[in-house]
Structure 1
């Protein structure tokens, strides 16, 4: 897991020797993503940079930029099946490099997470690629004088600032997306004129314009997916030890059983909450006992001391873009980092709910679709008001509209005086996000509600919040975070409320499951903290929002107060950088 940076100087006004200092400074902005190696390669007016967190083949021979006489590559990610592709392979970097040089369609074979650039020295042509789900970030900026592609926004900003091109905040994205959903939707970012490469696509530049082309993954139809070698590869493709964040839920428990079946040792981190209503530690420990995990191979760390401490200032400071979610992940990984200073690799169960239909969105559509047709039904069932009102405002109703409105924080939309124009703009942004998903998933999404909702949950909610937070937070704390359930070949599985996963655990291991809680943040006493933080930092929010009155703040839910607190903190620490 690493960070990549590329810049092309297209104007003769820039001195390449002097720019090397600027480029180095920009690359250092992402050094936290790769503290093990730092390297720059310059080819005329082209600058390639790489920072490395060495997980596979830690030797210097796999450092990047990786190049020979004909090609150069900068690569962020992991190719889990590199040894299946080449049994003699010691490095996924070298395997990827060879596959790309060989021509054909390497993406029909490659499985993992990636964002990388491949440069042909003879043609002086470079192409960038992003993985199927968009697990790895890839941002770009282009004008008539420069092209920049980066793993981080902060590195792009450093270059633009040095060249007197610093962009302005994208206030429309904040007002249209963040306030009501808690994230900024790709391809937009928090900064005007800086964009994200779509997942499952390649990027090339022609005449100062970005051009995108979908990658062809040739997805397999794996019916017997529980026996797939993908999970074994995703777990074991590493030369360093790893830790699994384990809850009492289906997804992470399933990963633990797969690690045991494949004799792959793991450290285990279990969150113990002070609030018994959200604590899953006792049940998770019971499941470990039922599975009979060898404590020597699967030692447990209970994450409890100060995990629930809320520090909005620290959290907002490290974020690439503001996010209403992720604070608990930050707390958990920070505790894990302090407990295991040498640990580099973490596994999570992210992806199970999206691919296998674990969210309520999947099974509520048919009921809501019938109810909203009844006149005045919203007065008897107030929860339906968002759907009836939203349908009327956007003048559309289909699977996508439903999924969009389901994730909308409607109470905040009303309390903060959201306008029809904002909701319409946000809906258009949502549709733009879904328009550039991998082409191989779209057929079923047009015909079957469960697959349309899967597309929305995976490529809107998960992509724009969960995956972005996971990468941003884990990399900041020096971890590679893997989500082995995010397998492109499993995408076409029927969303079944995770029954296959659950039955596999019940039948073989005798494990039962309670209602899903997850790694929930204990916010029993947080409302006053968030409200006071907003009041104390009103000056930062005033750059974007109208004044927030005390009565409005008193009526906002704790998760909206958290979102506004994070926004204030993010502006405080990042808007002038």
Structure 2
């Protein structure tokens, strides 16, 4: 895992080196650059595979130069397939030779997470993995093209680029900016699965989706799924650096840890967090049950209010864009503890809910969608339009009777009408669709389980959870790996009949395999969405006052709408909404 940076066009070398240095946290083990007239490529390395200096980057082979962030897990298989002589044991060399063989179709051969840049014969090629695990940003300013792992490096060269309040609606809708957009109109992010070609000022972009509408009617037996999961986890255990796993006590992280432990030749370090004085949020009990069952080397850490406030400040200072996932704060706290244990590779359970239908609203959506077939629904359409409710269920039915897109991802937070009441600007109905219109166009149909899974992998997972996982762990020199988001596993499951894959109960298929590895009490306990006492701590600390300070300066919000959320949050409602507003204000104050 690394930080990559490049400039094509005129530049000042010392300025470019300073910009590259803003990514040093992503790769504390080695530093390198390749500089010539109108070309600068830089790299900070976190050494995970083949730590020998010969594998440092930028790497030059046969006139081509590569900088890569990430891992190609099947690089040994590809070595054998490509043949010839390799000068390192690095997956980076394999990635370059694979690109030289297969060009822009190379992602169909790779199993891994990556953002890479290849310069060959006067052409720049950028590629990003299918699920967006690794970030890749770029900007074209005049005759200069620049790319980087994080926005901060681009803004170090072009500090005149500023965030835009027009992008706040994307953040409020989906907790994050949505590819290819960012909070900065002049800076873009390459979409997951994207390939960009830059030559003499001209940009071409092609996006390859490994998920799509399928006419397949097949199923998958338990042994096949077990094999695919086993293979995915085995690939992700390849490391020349110390490795561990996150363990919450839920099915997803527990299954990853259990299967990994069976393949690991020593007790696997596992890590869990709890919250001082708030046992109702605590899952340490369940994580310990799993750890005892699988024989892992388990570590628990406890966060209190002062830890929360200190960690929140550090996180928000670090973020290039606001990100409204409350889980980012405890993950930052936990990552700091894991870093102190010397761990550099960390397995996570991200992606299972989106792939195996772990969220209850999927089933609610499938039921509500039946109302589209009502022959006489004009009266209901008019009723819902004239009787507003702040509850999300009201919005769902209104969309159905308006023949609009019902499910827009589990990441959806503020509806358009909620934003219209919160913001001091006119937000029209279905404005939130503008941010995901390219996914709607590519997928074609916006109903049913295949769409639910597709858009959640793109938005909830790619733009919120995986973005959080990368920024937080990489800030601490840790590479996080997500075995459920394996290209072959996802392709195989998306090739199954969608209604069969969803079934009648959340994660039914995954749980059948999990029974082979986990205690029944872990598999059958009621799903508990991730939560912790962030709102109690925000109220107790007076932190929410930042909303009033920022609003006095920028005039962003309707004060009555903010007061409504604050009062409701004391009773456990609209907590996530208020958190998003608080974090946005804190981020604006710091940036």
User: What residue is the counterpart of 2:287 in the other structure?
Assistant: 284
Contact 1:3/1:30 (<8 A) preserved: yes
User: What residue is the counterpart of 1:172 in the other structure?
Assistant: 166
User: What residue is the counterpart of 2:131 in the other structure?
Assistant: 133
How far the C-alpha of 1:424 sits from its partner, in A, is: 3.1
Whole-angstrom CA distance in 1 between matches of 2:517 and 2:265: 18
Whole-angstrom CA distance in 2 between matches of 1:476 and 1:381: 37
Which among 404, 413, 423 is matched to residue 397 of structure 1?
A: 404
Contact 2:273/2:302 (<8 A) preserved: yes
How far the C-alpha of 1:361 sits from its partner, in A, is: 3.0
Change (3 A) 1:519 1:217: closer
Which among 196, 202, 225 is matched to residue 189 of structure 2?
A: 196
How far the C-alpha of 1:383 sits from its partner, in A, is: 4.5
Whole-angstrom CA distance in 2 between matches of 1:192 and 1:34: 28
Whole-angstrom CA distance in 2 between matches of 1:426 and 1:509: 40
Let me know the Cα RMSD of the aligned residues: 3.0
Whole-angstrom CA distance in 1 between matches of 2:433 and 2:192: 20
Change (3 A) 1:154 1:209: same
Whole-angstrom CA distance in 2 between matches of 1:569 and 1:69: 49
Contact 2:546/2:585 (<8 A) preserved: no
User: What residue is the counterpart of 1:431 in the other structure?
Assistant: 437
Aligned residues: 542
Q: Give 3-state SS (helix, strand or coil) of 1:309's partner.
A: helix
Which among 566, 569, 575 is matched to residue 586 of structure 2?
A: 569
Whole-angstrom CA distance in 2 between matches of 1:414 and 1:447: 24
Deviations 1:137-184 (A, max 9, x none): 1111013320001111000000113xxxx112121111x122243212
User: Do structure 1's residue 413 and structure 2's residue 419 form an aligned pair?
Assistant: yes
Q: Which runs of 5+ in 2 are unaligned?
A: 81-85, 494-500, 569-573
Moved more, 87-96 or 484-493: 87-96
Whole-angstrom CA distance in 1 between matches of 2:474 and 2:61: 29
Contact 1:170/1:189 (<8 A) preserved: no
Deviations 1:234-276 (A, max 9, x none): 3321111111110121111111121122235421002223423
How far the C-alpha of 1:278 sits from its partner, in A, is: 2.0
Deviations 1:382-403 (A, max 9, x none): 55211234567xx5424xx323
Change (3 A) 1:510 1:335: closer
How far the C-alpha of 1:96 sits from its partner, in A, is: 1.2
User: What residue is the counterpart of 1:525 in the other structure?
Assistant: 536
Change (3 A) 1:106 1:288: same
Whole-angstrom CA distance in 1 between matches of 2:329 and 2:47: 26
Change (3 A) 1:208 1:234: same
Whole-angstrom CA distance in 2 between matches of 1:255 and 1:405: 23
Mapping for residues 91-240 of structure 1, pairs under 5 Å: 91-103=90-102, 105-120=105-120, 123-161=121-159, 166-174=160-168, 176-206=169-199, 208-215=201-208, 223=220, 224-228=224-228, 230-240=231-241
Deviations 1:510-530 (A, max 9, x none): 433312235532236224257
User: What residue is the counterpart of 1:439 in the other structure?
Assistant: none
Whole-angstrom CA distance in 1 between matches of 2:202 and 2:403: 32
Whole-angstrom CA distance in 1 between matches of 2:396 and 2:133: 30
Q: Which runs of 5+ in 1 are unaligned?
A: 437-441
User: What residue is the counterpart of 2:498 in the other structure?
Assistant: none
Whole-angstrom CA distance in 2 between matches of 1:370 and 1:5: 49
Mapping for residues 530-569 of structure 1, pairs under 5 Å: 532-535=543-546, 538-539=549-550, 542-543=553-554, 545-546=556-557, 548=559, 551-552=563-564, 554-555=566-567, 557-569=574-586
Q: Give 3-state SS (helix, strand or coil) of 1:227's partner.
A: helix
Whole-angstrom CA distance in 1 between matches of 2:553 and 2:410: 27
How far the C-alpha of 1:321 sits from its partner, in A, is: 0.9
- Compute the TM-score of the two structures, normalised by the length of structure 2: 0.84
Change (3 A) 1:6 1:535: closer
Q: Give 3-state SS (helix, strand or coil) of 1:86's partner.
A: helix
User: What residue is the counterpart of 1:2 in the other structure?
Assistant: 2
